[in-house]
Structure 1
Amino acid sequence: MTDFALLIGGERRSTPTTLDVVNPATGGLAGQAPNCTRADLDDAMAAAQRAFPSWAADEDARRQALREAAAALTAAATRIGTILTSENGKPLARAVEEVHGVAHWIGYFAGLDLPRETIYSDATKVIEVVRRPMGVVAAIAPWNYPLILASWKLAPALRAGNTVVLKPSPFTPLSTLAMGEVLAGALPPGVLNVVSGGDELGAWMSTHPVPRKISFTGSVATGRKVALSAAADLKRVTLELGGNDPAILLDDIDVDKVADGVFASAFQNSGQVCVSIKRVYVPARLHADVVEALADRAKRAVVGDPMLEQTQLGPVSNAPQYRRVLDLIEDSLGRGAVAVAGGGALDGPGYFVAPTVLRDVTDGMPVVDEEQFGPVLPVVPYTDLDEVMARVNGSMYGLGGSVWSADPERAATTAERMECGSAWINSHGGLLPFAPFGGVKWSGVGVENGPWGLASYTDIQTLHRAL
């Protein structure tokens, strides 16, 4: 185990109490995280506030510091990835890949311009639109991709000239604390502060008087609480919340080819991806073939110790989510669903659930209507495309969706009818730093990534210059 500490004003800080962090692959202890107090949080906010003026003033220095931070993370990828696997359960190769992804995101934003815009000019005046940093940003990241989703907040916030106080999930704080120490070697003291603690810490952050923006990724229920807390002080918010992404298969698909893509998206990270496929709609005449193809892939998937090279799927990342996934499977079976693969927990220690494919499921079942966030996939037959589109769009979720067809143009026309923030044709997922990402309806407020995400960490100033 490693000694983990808060990062406040560029310095490590221990706390009177700690939180146990469980290794989901074994049920044992992965490590202990510091439990941030209110006084610690006040100090972190004050440090970020002190660091803000000089950080905001020098754009060239910010770019260079971010490039150095990206390089430092690349060098530390294996060490941090190993910590991530121990607390999150994803296969080690995927964890190391996540750290490299953080470096890629930071490097992208380091090179992204934030130009002034001249919107009017004549002989007497010039009017410009200037993007100014907000101040201190409070960033709250989830447990499924704790590092890369933190970078979606850190990279644009810091590039824009803000300073940050970051809180990871209490289920996966260790890798974020380790990442924070590496980044602190490249950033001036106080520019990035990392605090860990329980759910109450997130509530303290969203009501704290210092931050001017809250950026949160997590559940719809918690996102509502963040929005309400932020509203009292008119803080700006970016909220990336839950999704229940549908995949609609059209009647001209190659079943084997499509099954590969659908299975890969639905079960990546053991199904714990906000924008992975959560439900599949299949023409009735192809339903049995698609179910069989997906079940075959589920049965062949290698589930086990995430530290082993051959492992494809690790455990569910924490005990509450493990219980929720098992409850959803049990509920669906009680309602008449059939598990053609999986159907429950695997024997042995840890939070392992067998990759589960369900047939005889319908809209109205919780396993279809709700976000499972685990290795379980319901496959629903349909007979009329217009009718299934109405069912898909009837959900209050609207994060992502996909359409699969041998005719890409037909698929694209269908995908454009989906009420979601991101739509894919013959693939699903694959997020990029330059592409905006966000949800509609209950799935979020605002977007992350690309110049749109960068702009969301700024305030607009309209500058009128008389000549």
Structure 2
Amino acid sequence: MSGPRMTINGQVLPADSSFGVVNPATEGEFSRAPECSRKQLDAAMDAATRAVQLWRADDAARVAGLNAVADAVDEHASELADLLTAEQGKPLGAAHYEVSETTRWLRAAAALELPIETILDDGSARAELRRRPIGVVAAITPWNFPLLLAGWKLGPALRAGNTVVLKPSPYTPLATLRLGEIVNQVLPPGVINVVSGGDHLGAWMTSHPAVGKVSFTGSVATGKKVMASAADGLKRLTLELGGNDAAIVLDDANPEAIGRGLFWGGFINCGQICAGIKRIFVPEALHDDVVDVLAERARRVRVGPGTQEGVQMGPIQNHPQFERVRGLVAEALSDGASAAAGGAPLDGPGYFFPPTVLTGANEGMRIVDEEQFGPAIPVLTYRTLDEAVERANATPFGLSGSVWGSDLDRATEVAARLDTGTAFVNDHLALDPCLPFGGSKQSGLGVENGPWGLDEFTQLQVVHRPAA
């Protein structure tokens, strides 16, 4: 029942106590993970602090080290994918894809530059802008994409010259713990430390005096707690939080042509993705056609354990989230909505909920107003485009959104009106290492990816001197 162990200062360590890890396809505990003690966290922070000076000193070594990490992850891709499917539930093919995307993000970070910019040279003085590492980064990742989102944080943090103490979600600790064991075979001790434990461990990390930067991905509620915890030390923050992304279908859209992108923009990873489609706005004249296309796709999707061949959608990852989705759907149905597809959990063990397409839902229902983070999407009608944009923006969230239509120029103009960090046209979740990703309003602070995300892990320093 034991699984991978923590990695602190390059050493693989057990803990005095452990907690169970549940396979969401069976609802049974299949492994255990170490519960990091306060003393062990202090050791990890001390190791990261001592490793900073050596790691930040050699830019070429950092580039080589990051590429070596990517190579090591590639070499262990099958093992990591198996762990991901067992603990997270996603189909094995999707788990392999997550591993490969993790290495793609790491290599992209390795290729980024940290230029020294001349910002003043007027004959009397010269000023250069330099980017210096912050120090120790506390990185906390969620359970929907454990490895990929670890890569989003590790890549730029290490490229900038920082060291990292990484904590995965207690629901999905195993692949990340194994990642720590693997990468420490190619990195100096203390550069990456991986610990595991419950929410109390995250609170210890965000308030720890050794930490200069916190990078957190998770819910808005937890993000607010992270921000409050980090405030006492005025720690730098990147918060990638929740979303209630709207997709607006325009009156010139072809439902058959957009059906696949619209469907998987909301239901990929069993709907458990912060920047996925959570609400769909459709003109009244196209409502039935769009619903028919989505419902037909939903009924064809094969739902089951991620290890079974041909499965396209696994279970909801954990019991609390399963109960939340079930409750939101049941509440909507009791309040007058209808299920064009799905609508109730599947029989048998496992947190399986089929892709659910709801009609007749309206603002005021929680399935519309809140982030469901699961395989259930309401389709709402609108009469005017201005009304659709206004309703799409009427949310405290602002992560992503999308517009779907035949006239790309018109759709682009509408997309630019969305109050979101990213606005897609005829697509959703088209993420790439070169594109900055972040949210407006309560969907987060700061950005990730590309040179903008790299800058989040640096401290700007102006070096000013008289002219020669």
What is the rounded CA distance, in whole Å, between the counterparts of 2:114 and 2:411 in structure 1? 35
Shift of 1:125: 2.7
The residue number in structure 2 matching 1:336 is 336
TM norm structure 2: 0.99
Shift of 1:30: 2.9
The residue number in structure 2 matching 1:14 is 14
What is the rounded CA distance, in whole Å, between the counterparts of 2:300 and 2:18 in structure 1? 40
Q: Do 1:163 and 1:191's aligned partners in 2 also have CA atoms closer than 8 Å?
A: yes
The residue number in structure 2 matching 1:279 is 279
Shift of 1:2: 5.7
The residue number in structure 2 matching 1:194 is 194
What is the rounded CA distance, in whole Å, between the counterparts of 1:227 and 1:436 in structure 2? 21
Deviations 1:265-310 (A, max 9, x none): 1110000011110010000011011111111110000101201230
> Residue 296 of structure 2 aligns to which amino acid in structure 1?
D
The residue number in structure 2 matching 1:236 is 236
What is the rounded CA distance, in whole Å, between the counterparts of 1:240 and 1:442 in structure 2? 9
What is the rounded CA distance, in whole Å, between the counterparts of 2:112 and 2:30 in structure 1? 37
> Residue 135 of structure 1 aligns to which amino acid in structure 2?
G
Residue 243 of structure 2 corresponds to residue 218 of structure 1: no
Report the secondary structure of 2:26's partner residue.
Answer: coil
Residue 139 of structure 2 corresponds to residue 139 of structure 1: yes
Q: Do 2:270 and 2:374's aligned partners in 1 also have CA atoms closer than 8 Å?
A: yes
> Residue 387 of structure 1 aligns to which amino acid in structure 2?
E
Deviations 1:315-343 (A, max 9, x none): 00011100000000011011001011110
Deviations 1:198-225 (A, max 9, x none): 0110011111111001000000000000
Q: Do 2:2 and 2:33's aligned partners in 1 also have CA atoms closer than 8 Å?
A: no
What is the rounded CA distance, in whole Å, between the counterparts of 1:377 and 1:325 in structure 2? 11
What is the rounded CA distance, in whole Å, between the counterparts of 1:366 and 1:399 in structure 2? 18
Shift of 1:352: 0.2
The residue number in structure 2 matching 1:363 is 363
The residue number in structure 2 matching 1:465 is 465
Q: Do 1:51 and 1:191's aligned partners in 2 also have CA atoms closer than 8 Å?
A: yes
What is the rounded CA distance, in whole Å, between the counterparts of 1:381 and 1:188 in structure 2? 56
Shift of 1:263: 0.5
Deviations 1:236-258 (A, max 9, x none): 10000000000000001111111
Shift of 1:124: 3.9
The residue number in structure 2 matching 1:75 is 75
> Residue 397 of structure 2 aligns to which amino acid in structure 1?
Y
What is the rounded CA distance, in whole Å, between the counterparts of 1:10 and 1:120 in structure 2? 43
Deviations 1:140-179 (A, max 9, x none): 0000001111111110000000000000000000000011
What is the rounded CA distance, in whole Å, between the counterparts of 2:270 and 2:18 in structure 1? 28
What is the rounded CA distance, in whole Å, between the counterparts of 1:102 and 1:413 in structure 2? 33
The residue number in structure 2 matching 1:251 is 251
Shift of 1:449: 0.3
Q: Do 2:9 and 2:47's aligned partners in 1 also have CA atoms closer than 8 Å?
A: yes
Report the secondary structure of 2:358's partner residue.
Answer: strand
> Residue 131 of structure 2 aligns to which amino acid in structure 1?
R
Deviations 1:79-106 (A, max 9, x none): 1010010000000111111111111111
Shift of 1:186: 1.4
Shift of 1:34: 0.3
The residue number in structure 2 matching 1:34 is 34
The residue number in structure 2 matching 1:46 is 46
TM norm structure 1: 0.99
What is the rounded CA distance, in whole Å, between the counterparts of 2:355 and 2:434 in structure 1? 32
Shift of 1:465: 2.2
Q: Do 2:302 and 2:313's aligned partners in 1 also have CA atoms closer than 8 Å?
A: yes
What is the rounded CA distance, in whole Å, between the counterparts of 2:463 and 2:37 in structure 1? 42
Q: What percentage of residue pairs aligned between the two structures are identical?
A: 53
What is the rounded CA distance, in whole Å, between the counterparts of 1:123 and 1:246 in structure 2? 53
What is the rounded CA distance, in whole Å, between the counterparts of 1:102 and 1:183 in structure 2? 13
What is the rounded CA distance, in whole Å, between the counterparts of 1:458 and 1:180 in structure 2? 23
Shift of 1:390: 1.0
Q: Do 2:141 and 2:216's aligned partners in 1 also have CA atoms closer than 8 Å?
A: yes
The residue number in structure 2 matching 1:427 is 427
The residue number in structure 2 matching 1:98 is 98
What is the rounded CA distance, in whole Å, between the counterparts of 1:124 and 1:415 in structure 2? 47
What is the rounded CA distance, in whole Å, between the counterparts of 1:127 and 1:199 in structure 2? 45
> Residue 82 of structure 2 aligns to which amino acid in structure 1?
T
The residue number in structure 2 matching 1:388 is 388
What is the rounded CA distance, in whole Å, between the counterparts of 1:268 and 1:2 in structure 2? 31
Shift of 1:264: 1.2
What is the rounded CA distance, in whole Å, between the counterparts of 1:57 and 1:249 in structure 2? 51
The residue number in structure 1 matching 2:265 is 265
Q: Do 1:93 and 1:309's aligned partners in 2 also have CA atoms closer than 8 Å?
A: no
Shift of 1:3: 3.2
What is the rounded CA distance, in whole Å, between the counterparts of 1:465 and 1:97 in structure 2? 50
Poorly superposed stretches of 4+, deviation over 3 Å: none
Residue-pair matches, total: 467
> Residue 129 of structure 1 aligns to which amino acid in structure 2?
L
> Residue 7 of structure 1 aligns to which amino acid in structure 2?
T
Aligned CA RMSD, in angstroms, stands at: 0.9
Q: Do 1:66 and 1:186's aligned partners in 2 also have CA atoms closer than 8 Å?
A: no
Report the secondary structure of 1:212's partner residue.
Answer: strand
What is the rounded CA distance, in whole Å, between the counterparts of 1:121 and 1:260 in structure 2? 54
The residue number in structure 2 matching 1:323 is 323
Shift of 1:367: 0.2
The residue number in structure 2 matching 1:399 is 399
What is the rounded CA distance, in whole Å, between the counterparts of 1:103 and 1:183 in structure 2? 12
